[in-house]
Amino acid sequence: MAVDLLLGLQWGDEGKGKIVDVLTKDYDIIARFQGGPNAGHTLEFDGIKHVLHTIPSGIFHKNAVNVVGNGVVIDPVIFKKELQALEGFGLDLSSTLLISRKAHLILPTHRLLDAASETAKGKAKIGSTLKGIGPTYMDKTGRNGLRVGDLELDDWKEKYRALANKHEAMINFYNVDIQYNLAELEADFFDSIGALKALPFIDSEEYLHQAQKAGKKILAEGAQGSLLDIDFGTYPFVTSSNTTAAGACTGLGVAPNRIKEVMGIFKAYTTRVGSGPFPTELFDQDGETMGRVGNEFGATTGRPRRCGWLDLVALKYAVNINGVTQLMMMKGDVLSGFEKLKVCTAYNYKGNKITHLPYNIEAQNVTPIYTEMDGWQEDLTQMSAAAQLPKALNDYIAFLEAELQVPIKIVSVGPDRKQTIHR
Ligand code: GDP
Ligand code: IMO
Ligand code: MG
């Protein structure tokens, strides 16, 4: 049985959590393949909103097992809080949430290093969520990291100490004013390790291999979005993992030829949280309306998200890199009431019209070229079937499908599980 992927095509927060939750009924296993608690995946049903950071978004369904893959970085402190929140809803996770031994651990000092690095950068800061993601992946590729499987060894505290001591020296090297009480942070960390150890640690690549052989249906859940990919995103304003389809292979140990559907999620407009270039960003009333109606505040940090028109140049780039076979368009309801909509179909790049994403997309190099379309006025949030969608929205969808050459299979018209239209 093949593995399907679901990933974000923009700068994150496309609605991955909602759609994974909607699709989980058709899968046996949901597996997160990269990122860490910099992610905030929101699910809404029965009038309650849940935000997940590390735990896969299939966790509310009894039919599926959830796997935290080797490509994920885990902060035990945040992880414990997530577990407690879920247990508050009566979920018993002791056999439905499995953790890869090869996943790396975020230490308290990784978080401090993140803060020191951002402070030292000043105006050039990445706008990191400060969850220690960059420093943890640096230790992973630098071959210094502490992994979940190490917690089963007798000497893991010595390994921890050696790494934390090195981090302290590095924090001092930055020579910035970071206030912290390491003893307190460590007490919290060691206490939280206990909650992590209560869950099964597995060789997740072998588990997923056997599951495929047994005909189980697997959905790989991405975090962040393609434009935040360490290689293909708007470097250096990116995260520190491969958020694109290839990241699912290395983040789970799934071979490329086992992957079947690649589901790409995008908003009907664009948002970005943190620093970095954003060609279609709006600074006017339209952008303000998107942010207000779309409730565009980060699920992890609460920061306002920057808003702008849909960028098809960037979206095509993401579709190509990921090999997207199906698209899902989110938040169409947020655009209800706009008389006219703009879609960026090309860039003016240093005086020339181009239709591919160039190396530099900073404002001094790139001006978006827009195609204008009619908006729709109808409230979409109560609609439940494709036949109910207004003509202007169907025209918008048809235009995007023609440009991207990939079908839009889901149109989401609100945050709730039920506000999902299949086409
Ligand atoms: P993720 O990181 O990709 O899982 O996305 P987030 O959960 O961070 O951000 C998406 C936000 O949009 C959340 O607040 C969702 O509840 C909300 N959302 C998802 N789909 C829709 C939709 O179709 N319409 C509206 N209005 N909100 C949506
Ligand atoms: P989900 O999975 C949106 C952004 C941060 C910052 C940059 C680097 O919810 O879509 P990091 O913490 O990795 O050092 O931050 O990436 N970022 C996200 N933006 N959604 C996310 O995750 C994000 N995870 C990181 O805002 O600009
Ligand atoms: Mg999010």
pLDDT (tens digit, 9 = 90+) per residue, 353-412? 999 999 999 999 999 999 999 999 999 999 999 999 999 999 999 999 999 999 999 999
Average confidence (pLDDT) over 190-196: 97
Ligand nearest to the CA of 34: 2
Please, what sign has the CA dihedral across residues 169, 170, 176, 179? Answer: negative
pLDDT band of residue 351 (cuts 50, 70, 90) is very high
Residue 204 in this model has a pLDDT that exceeds 90: yes
How deeply is 354 buried, as exposed, middle or buried, from its count of CB atoms within 10 A (0-12, 13-18, 19+)?
middle
Residue 38: helix, strand or coil by DSSP? coil
Biggest CA–CA distance in the chain, Å, is 65
> Which helix H or strand E contains 374, and what residues bound it?
strand 366-374
Residue 161 in this model has a pLDDT that exceeds 90: yes
Distance (Å) from CA 266 to ligand 3 centroid: 12
d(CA 85, CA 31): 20
Residue 61: helix, strand or coil by DSSP? coil
Residue 1 in this model has a pLDDT that exceeds 80: no
| pLDDT value of position 300 | 84
Residue 92 in this model has a pLDDT that exceeds 90: no
| pLDDT value of position 213 | 96
Residue 343: helix, strand or coil by DSSP? strand
pLDDT (tens digit, 9 = 90+) per residue, 211-262? 999 999 999 999 999 999 999 999 999 999 999 999 999 999 999 999 999 9
| pLDDT value of position 170 | 96
Residue 153 in this model has a pLDDT that exceeds 80: yes
Annotate 144-184 with three-state secondary structure.
Answer: CCCEHHHHHCCCHHHHHHHHHHHHHHHHHHHCCCCCCCHHH
Compute how many other C-beta atoms are within 10 angstroms of the C-beta atom of residue 337. 13
pLDDT band of residue 23 (cuts 50, 70, 90) is very high
| Weakest mean pLDDT among 83-92, 145-154, 181-190 | 83-92
Distance (Å) from CA 204 to ligand 1 centroid: 29
| pLDDT value of position 287 | 98
| pLDDT value of position 10 | 98
């590729």: which residue's tokens? 141
- Answer for the pair 310, 320: CB distance below 8 angstroms, yes or no: no
- Answer for the pair 11, 225: CB distance below 8 angstroms, yes or no: yes
pLDDT (tens digit, 9 = 90+) per residue, 251-282? 999 999 999 999 999 999 999 999 999 999 99
Structure tokens at 31: 């597996």
pLDDT band of residue 340 (cuts 50, 70, 90) is very high
Average confidence (pLDDT) over 177-187: 95
Q: List the catalytic residue out of 4, 13, 114, 286.
A: 13
Q: Which residues line ligand 2 (CB under 6 A)?
A: 8, 11-13, 35, 38-41, 126-129, 131, 133-134, 223-225, 228, 239, 273-274, 299
Structure tokens at 286: 């339209």
Q: List the catalytic residue out of 4, 21, 41, 110.
A: 41
| pLDDT value of position 129 | 97
Task: Mark whether 61 is an active-site residue.
Answer: no
Ligand 2 atom having least distance to the Cα of 303:
26
pLDDT (tens digit, 9 = 90+) per residue, 288-331? 999 999 999 998 889 999 999 999 999 999 999 999 999 999 99
Residue 30 in this model has a pLDDT that exceeds 80: yes
Please, what sign has the CA dihedral across residues 289, 295, 300, 303? Answer: positive
Residue 43 in this model has a pLDDT that exceeds 90: yes
| pLDDT value of position 181 | 96
* Integer CA distances (angstroms), 140 to 109, 226, 349, in order: 14, 21, 37
Q: Which of 368, 235, 253 is nearest to 309 (CA)?
A: 368
Strands (E), 131-290: 201-202, 218-225, 259-267, 270-272
d(CA 342, CA 353): 17
Task: Mark whether 13 is an active-site residue.
Answer: yes
Q: Which residues line ligand 1 (CB under 6 A)?
A: 8, 12-18, 39-42, 44, 294, 299, 330-331, 333-334, 412-415
| pLDDT value of position 4 | 98
* Integer CA distances (angstroms), 299 to 3, 38, 39, 182, 188, in order: 28, 9, 8, 27, 23
pTM over 0.95: yes
Q: Whose CA is nearest to atom 14 of ligand 2?
A: 128
Query: Best mutation site among 16, 307, 330 for ligand 1, i.e. most ligand atoms within 8 A of its Cβ?
Result: 330
First vs last C-alpha separation in the chain: 24
Q: Whose CA is nearest to atom 27 of ligand 2?
A: 274
Q: Whose CA is nearest to atom 15 of ligand 2?
A: 128
Q: How does strand 306-308 pair with strand 270-272?
A: antiparallel
Distance (Å) from CA 172 to ligand 3 centroid: 32
d(CA 341, CA 282): 13
Q: How does strand 420-422 pair with strand 408-412?
A: antiparallel
d(CA 244, CA 228): 9
| pLDDT value of position 88 | 92
What percent of the chain is helix, strand and coil (3-state, nearest 5)? Answer: 35, 25, 40
Residues with Cβ–ion distance below 5 A, ligand 3:
13, 40, 299
- Answer for the pair 297, 311: CB distance below 8 angstroms, yes or no: no
Q: Whose CA is nearest to atom 10 of ligand 1?
A: 15
